[in-house]
Structures are given as structure tokens and as C-alpha cells.
Amino acid sequence: MGTELTYNFVFKVVLIGESGVGKSNLLSRFTKNEFNHDSRTTIGVEFSTRSIQVENITIKAQIWDTAGLERYRAITSAYYRGAVGALLVYDITKHLTYENVERWLKELYDHADPHIVVMLVGNKSDMAAVRTVPTEEAKDFAENKGLLFMETSALESLNVESAFLEVLSAIHKKVASKEVTRGSISAVTLGPTSEYKEERQSCCNR
């Protein structure tokens, strides 16, 4: 257990999207700078953390991954609870994963705070030669829905850092605009709650 002085905020960010789009590798690339070529699906809920600096503020990012549950539609409201950011990921080479983005977005808004920061992420940009989802199409969709947008490659570590940092910075701006008091606060939701605490939950690993 670290002391509360080691960070100012904890922001919970969830990764959502169809199975096989690379969510777990985005998580491991951002938090551990690792890429796992073994694509076997894990079952459960996993999360990793990483602390970053934004405008001289230390933010502890707690990134949650569905880890295969999306295959069974077994994701519950508990997964979304307390999330202030989300990366909605699709595979640029598999159009079906993009077609299902709307469903994931609806599920997210049904369970998460309405002020949540959401980025649409087109992963596997290293495979642009077999792309089936045009960049402009996805970008226009994101703009129409009020989402951030970026294409990434977890394999080549392209834009992964930028995607997470942009989401975390946007969350911080929302929190700052609401004049949320810092200090001993360890986690923040964007709702009207006046008391904040970090939710420490167990998770299932491999």
C-alpha cells in the first residue's frame, strides 16, 4: 500500500469492445510496455495501474480489461462502476468489430456516468494493408457521437501512450472544471458526489 501522497487522483478507465481486438495488449503495452503474441483469451476481469503526470498533478490510472467476458455477454454494471474514462476498441481489419461499436457505446452509457470520457480506438494500424474500416469513416462517427478518436498499434507501440494520455488529460480537465478538491482524495467520479474514495476490488487473473 502506497501513501496517499504518492498521487492526487485515481482515475478508473475501462477497455471495452469485441473479443480479439487487442484490448489486453493495449493494457499491457501502456502499463508494462509489453506485447503478448499468444492470443489465448483469458477469462475474468483484470486491471493494471500506472501513474502519470498531468499539469504537475500525479494521476494513478487504473485500467480495467474485460479479459474475455465480452464473449459471453457477462459484463456487469460492477465493471463500469466508478469509471471516468473508456477506450472503445475495434480492429481496423475486421469491420464487424467496428459495426458493434454502437452496441458497446449504448451499454457503456447505460451503466457508466454520463460525463465519462470516451475514446474510439481503431487498433492494429500496423495491418493497414488489410484495413476494412476507413479512418475517415470512424473519425466522422466519433465526432458525431462526441468521442475522442485515435488509431493505434499495440504491436508497434504506436499511439498507445498518446491514446491513454489524451483520455486521462480530458478526465483531469473535467474534474478541474468542476473545482474538485484535491488533497487526500484518492479517486474521483464525475457525478455530483461530494465524497470520493478509491474502490479496491479483487479481480480474476489468468
| Span 129-165, pLDDT tens digits | 999 999 999 999 999 999 999 999 999 999 999 999 9
Which among 121, 119, 120, 127 has a CA at the least distance from the CA of 93?
A: 127
Domain ranges for the chain = 4-177
- What is the reported pTM? 0.82
What does the pLDDT read at residue 68?
A: 63
What does the pLDDT read at residue 202?
A: 34
**Choice among 65-74, 158-167, 190-199 with the minimum mean pLDDT:** 190-199
What gap in Å lies between CA 98 and CA 175, rounded to an integer? Answer: 30
| CATH 3.40.50.300, applies to 4-177 | yes
| Span 5-50, pLDDT tens digits | 588 999 999 999 998 999 999 999 999 999 988 766 656 678 899 9
